[in-house]
């Protein structure tokens, strides 16, 4: 349980963050525990994380601000291990280096800065820019489906979908970022969760795989149209050739007698001329 001083300090910082949040950062305390904060880092432009939705937690000690919080990220990023405590100078790995003047915004700016660097520490991992961009593209799906562990279907509302509470789906309270069906994310970020599902529906993303699902006939309709067009063109061309052939054959058929008579006439005329010459 938070001390009176910690409770007062965290309430004030929540008000400050709500009215004047740092760029690409959102955060709030849990409704059930003011010492448990949930944050969203939006991937900054011109980084491999651009546009990504990175969800994590800060768990403060009861005597905050005289001791630092434990910091975790629950969204797959290619930079941090999911759900593991991060060893940073602003985290509970280094309580002696923590400055009581640092606020929640200071801590989250530090996480954001470390994320966009390549410095390694406990809880961090290496990865290529291409991998991180792909993870960034999948972050909304990852958060709202619990990495595909949801049973909710596209077109099904949150009210229609019934799922076990996160606590019943996992014995490890810090694994909810991976296999809880997105229950904890929905609890803490209901508006973002609804936006994420609308985005998945608009892009026809399979909730269980995170991959785009083509509607029946997608990619085949245009192919069929082209095939039909090609076949029609071929048939038209064939008919034109056939008609031309028939036209030629019809003329020959109608005039073959005249041509035969003309040939005989020319032959006789040629024979007489040769006879006179001799």
Beta partners for residue 42, in sequence order: 53
Residues recognised as catalytic = 87
Task: Report the C-alpha gap between 122 and 56 in whole angstroms.
Answer: 16
42, 72, 31: which is closest to 187 by C-alpha?
A: 31
What pLDDT score does 222 carry?
45
- Domain borders along the chain are 4-203
What pLDDT score does 248 carry?
44
Q: Tens-digit pLDDT profile for the chain (278 aa)?
A: 999 999 999 999 999 999 999 999 999 999 999 999 999 999 999 999 999 999 999 999 999 999 999 999 999 999 999 999 999 999 999 999 999 999 999 999 999 999 999 999 999 999 999 999 999 999 999 999 999 999 999 999 888 876 554 444 444 455 555 578 999 999 999 999 999 999 999 999 999 999 998 765 555 444 444 444 444 444 545 454 444 444 444 444 445 444 545 554 455 455 555 555 55
Asked if 86 contacts 73 with a C-beta cutoff of 8 angstroms, the reply is yes
What pLDDT score does 178 carry?
59
Task: Report the C-alpha gap between 149 and 82 in whole angstroms.
Answer: 15
Secondary structure (DSSP) of the chain: ---HHHHHHHHHHHHHHHHSPPTTEEEEE-SS-TTEEEEEEEPPTTSTTTT-EEEEEEE--TTTTSSPPEEEE-S--SSB-TTPPP--TTSTT-GGG--TT--HHHHHHHHHHHHTS----TTB----HHHHHHHHHHHHHHHHHTTTT----TT--TTT-----HHHH-SSGGGHHHHSTTHHHHHH-HHHHHHHHHHHHHHTB-TTT-SB-PPTTTTTHHHHHHHHHHHHHHHHHHHHHHHHHHHHHHHHHHHHHHHHHHHHHHHHHHHHHHHHH-
Supply the angle between the helices 190-203 and 129-145 in degrees, to the nearest 10: 110
Task: Report the C-alpha gap between 72 and 276 in whole angstroms.
Answer: 119
Beta partners for residue 28, in sequence order: 38
CA distances to 98, 105, 145 from 16, rounded to whole Å, are 21, 9, 31
Sign of torsion over alpha carbons 135, 141, 145, 150: negative
- Give CATH superfamily name and number for 4-203: Ubiquitin Conjugating Enzyme (3.10.110.10)
136, 3, 16: which is closest to 65 by C-alpha?
A: 3
């Amino acid at each position: 349980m938070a001390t009176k001083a910690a409770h007062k300090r965290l309430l004030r910082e929540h008000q400050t963050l709500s009215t004047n949040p740092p760029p690409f950062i959102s955060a709030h305390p849990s409704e059930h525990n003011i010492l448990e904060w949930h944050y969203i880092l939006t991937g900054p432009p011109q980084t491999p994380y651009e546009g990504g939705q990175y969800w994590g937690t800060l768990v403060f000690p009861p005597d905050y601000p005289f001791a630092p919080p434990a910091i975790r990220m629950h969204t797959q990023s290619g930079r941090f291990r999911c759900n593991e405590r991060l060893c940073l100078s602003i985290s509970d790995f280094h309580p002696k280096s923590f400055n009581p003047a640092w606020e929640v915004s200071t801590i989250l700016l530090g996480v954001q800065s470390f994320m966009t660097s390549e410095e390694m520490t406990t809880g961090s991992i290496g990865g290529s820019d291409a991998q991180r961009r792909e993870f960034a593209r999948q972050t909304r799906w990852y958060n709202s489906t619990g990495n595909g562990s949801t049973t909710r279907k596209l077109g099904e509302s949150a009210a229609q979908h019934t799922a076990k509470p996160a606590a019943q789906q996992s014995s490890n309270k810090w694994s909810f970022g991976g296999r809880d069906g997105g229950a904890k994310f929905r609890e803490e970020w209901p508006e973002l969760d609804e936006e994420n599902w609308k985005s998945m529906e608009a892009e026809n993303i399979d909730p269980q795989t995170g991959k785009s699902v083509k509607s029946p006939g997608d990619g085949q309709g245009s192919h069929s149209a082209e095939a039909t067009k090609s076949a029609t063109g071929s048939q038209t061309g064939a008919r034109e050739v056939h008609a031309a052939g028939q036209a030629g054959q019809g003329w020959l058929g109608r005039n073959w007698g005249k041509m035969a008579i003309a040939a005989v006439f020319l032959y006789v005329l040629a024979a007489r001329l040769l006879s006179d010459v001799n």
